[in-house]
Amino acid sequence: MTRKPFIAGNWKMYKNGQQAQDFIRQFIPLVNSWEAHQVGLAVSATVLKEAVSTVATVGSFPLIIGAQNMHWEIEGAFTGEISGSMIKGTGATMVILGHSERRQLFGETDEWVARKLAAALDYGLTPIVCVGETLQDRESGRTFNVLANQLTGCLAGVSDHSLGSIVLAYEPVWAIGTGVTATVEQAQEAHAFIRGRLSRQFSPQAAEAVRILYGGSVKPDNAKSLLDQSDIDGALIGGASLDPVSLAKIVNLA
């Protein structure tokens, strides 16, 4: 089974419209091949439209633009939230769901992620669903329990068929923004666990086809060894995705 590598940047709360435009114009020509892998950027909600139109201005490059969160309702009295249909309306086609910063800082639960996921699939957005354990979970030997619970909760209601439209990301919370990366063995072990778990929750074929990205202090100098692992199908990159040169380096070695 060949799974096309997927490299996605998560800009978090960085970059305004002008900075997003400058990044995209610099980044696109630095990528050697657009066929070998998929490349996405999850930008701030306020610059979604500008990012989409900048990509189109540069040429016909399949650089995917996405959001970092969404509400499950189409509209309503939810101050500060954006819906899948609003994301879709900007021309963006991807959305990150259940990032650990959303879970830890904003109280997002697996149940919310499951609702958001159903809505994202309804709108035809490509969801990147994040799971991952905290340092405390890992040190108390609970990593696999936590991952299993997150997978059960977040993917409740997902059919075998729709699993094919979902991308997963394993992001150990202790490796995010800390400069500490999971070792390749730790990352591969967690990815293999996730795929094994999916093959019981869904069909083995669906589990074999799903892409699982690694996230947590991925940089140009550690990306290759992580991406070489058999169950690691790409990366979700925070800090290193803010610089077009470093993101392009990672894409070019994927």
Q: Are 126 and 64 in contact (CB under 8 A)?
A: yes
The yes-or-no answer on residue 171 being catalytic is yes
The DSSP 8-state label assigned to residue 98 in this structure reads S
Q: Are 28 and 61 in contact (CB under 8 A)?
A: yes
Task: Tell me how many degrees the CA angle 171-216-42 measures, rounded to the nearest 5.
Answer: 80
Catalytic residue among 71, 133, 171, 191: 171
> Taking the complex as a whole, how short is the minimal distance between the CB of residue 71 and ligand 13P, in angstroms?
20
217 binds ligand 13P (CB under 6 A): yes
Residue (95 or 176) nearer to ligand 13P, CB: 176
Tell me the H-state helices in the chain.
17-27, 48-58, 84-89, 100-106, 110-122, 135-139, 143-154, 160-163, 184-201, 204-209, 220-227, 244-253
From the list 53-61, 148-156, 183-191, 214-222, the region that binds ligand 13P by CB under 6 A is 214-222
Residue (84 or 239) nearer to ligand 13P, CB: 239
234 binds ligand 13P (CB under 6 A): no
Q: Are 118 and 157 in contact (CB under 8 A)?
A: yes
Catalytic residue among 50, 99, 101, 133: 99
Within positions 177 to 206, which residues make up the interface with ligand 13P, using CB under 6 A? 177
**146, 236, 250, 254: residue in contact with ligand 13P (rule CB under 6 A):** 236
215 binds ligand 13P (CB under 6 A): yes
Structure tokens at 43: 């930008």
Within positions 98 to 117, which residues make up the interface with ligand 13P, using CB under 6 A? 99
239 binds ligand 13P (CB under 6 A): yes
Q: How far apart are CA 183 and CA 197, in angstroms?
A: 21
Q: How far apart are CA 109 and CA 166, in angstroms?
A: 18
246 binds ligand 13P (CB under 6 A): no
Residue (202 or 214) nearer to ligand 13P, CB: 214
* Catalytic positions: 99, 171
Residue ranges in contact with ligand 13P by CB under 6 A: 10, 99, 171, 176-177, 215-218, 236-240
